Amino acid sequence: MFRLDSKIALVTGGSRGIGRACVEALARQGATVIINYVKGEAAARELSDQIVAAGGKAEIAGFDVADTAATESQVDAIIKRHGRIDILVASAGIAIDGLLLRLKDEDLDKLFNTNVRGSLTVARAATKSMMRSKWGRIIFLSSVVGEMGNVGQTGYAATKAALIGAAKSIAREYATRNVTANVIAPGFIDTDMTAGMTDPQREAIHKLVPLGRTGKAEEVAAAAVYLASEEAGYITGQVLRVNGGMYV
């Protein structure tokens, strides 16, 4: 079940964290995975080499999702090289935290340009080929805070909530082309993004999570594999929460 042989998958922000775990999981299921990175070229290359050495299929593609022209030309080049993109996991994202009163315009621009515009431009470029092949899977990475909010995360939460509205709209727009669009909303997952948390902050979070622990990137990646699979073909416009019960 959930095999992805012969599928072409693009994972943005694929060199580390949740994106990296998605790359590994998709490749294990047989997909050819294109690993997007913006800063982590060495890590992306190492990951790609590892997958190929293990008998899988992977390559790297460096571009900044906030740069629309670069994104469009790189996604077009991937489609030209492989004939199509079947699966997009848009994991590239940034967090800039701060109370609303202290949120700077430039921080809001950075957040929205990367998390929202970046995810949508890459989806727009990838769906061109999905429409032609009448098969596609778009998966956005939202967050538990996009649904429940959080003190000090107004800007970040707004971008993550925006992706839910976007995925629901894409789901309706592309349904006749057999393209599904879904969102994964992780809770607190152990990655570099959350590595800066202090022990007291971590303990406070554990108390909010019925399962009593933070999540693993692999647990988010398993949800991505599922949503990317043939078996999830009747699921679209949904939010799959991977949060240990933190928000139900």
Rounded to a whole number of angstroms, the minimum distance from the CB of residue 177 to ligand NAD is: 25
Q: Which of 74, 121, 143, 153 is in the footprint of ligand NAD by CB under 6 A?
A: 143
What does the alpha-carbon distance between residue 188 and residue 211 come to, in Å, rounded to a whole number? 12
Query: x/- contact string, 100-139, with ligand NAD (CB under 6 A)?
Result: --------------x---x---------------------
- Active-site residue, from 37, 156, 174, 226: 156
3 state DSSP class of 181: strand
CA–chain centroid gap for 159, Å, is: 13
Residue 176's Cβ-count burial label (10 Å; 0-12, 13-18, 19+) is exposed
C-beta of residue 170 within 8 angstroms of C-beta of residue 181: yes
Enumerate residues 73-102 that contact ligand NAD by CB under 6 A: 91-95
Site string for ligand NAD, 196-235 (x = CB under 6 A): ----------------------------------------
- 156 is known as an active-site residue: yes
Site string for ligand NAD, 163-202 (x = CB under 6 A): -----------------------x-xx-xxxx--------
Q: Determine the Cα–Cα distance for residues 142 and 129; give it in Å rounded to an integer.
A: 24
Residue nearer to ligand NAD on the CB measure, 121 or 229: 121
Tokens 């933190």: give the residue: 246
Tell the residue number behind the tokens 């929205």, with chain if given: 112
CA–CA gap between residue 218 and residue 115 (Å, rounded): 21
Q: At what angle do helices 17-28 and 217-228 cross, to 10 degrees?
A: 50
Q: Min. distance of Cβ 57 from ligand NAD in angstroms?
A: 21
Binding region for ligand NAD (CB under 6 A): 12-13, 15-19, 36, 38-40, 64-66, 91-95, 114, 118, 141, 143, 186, 188-189, 191-194
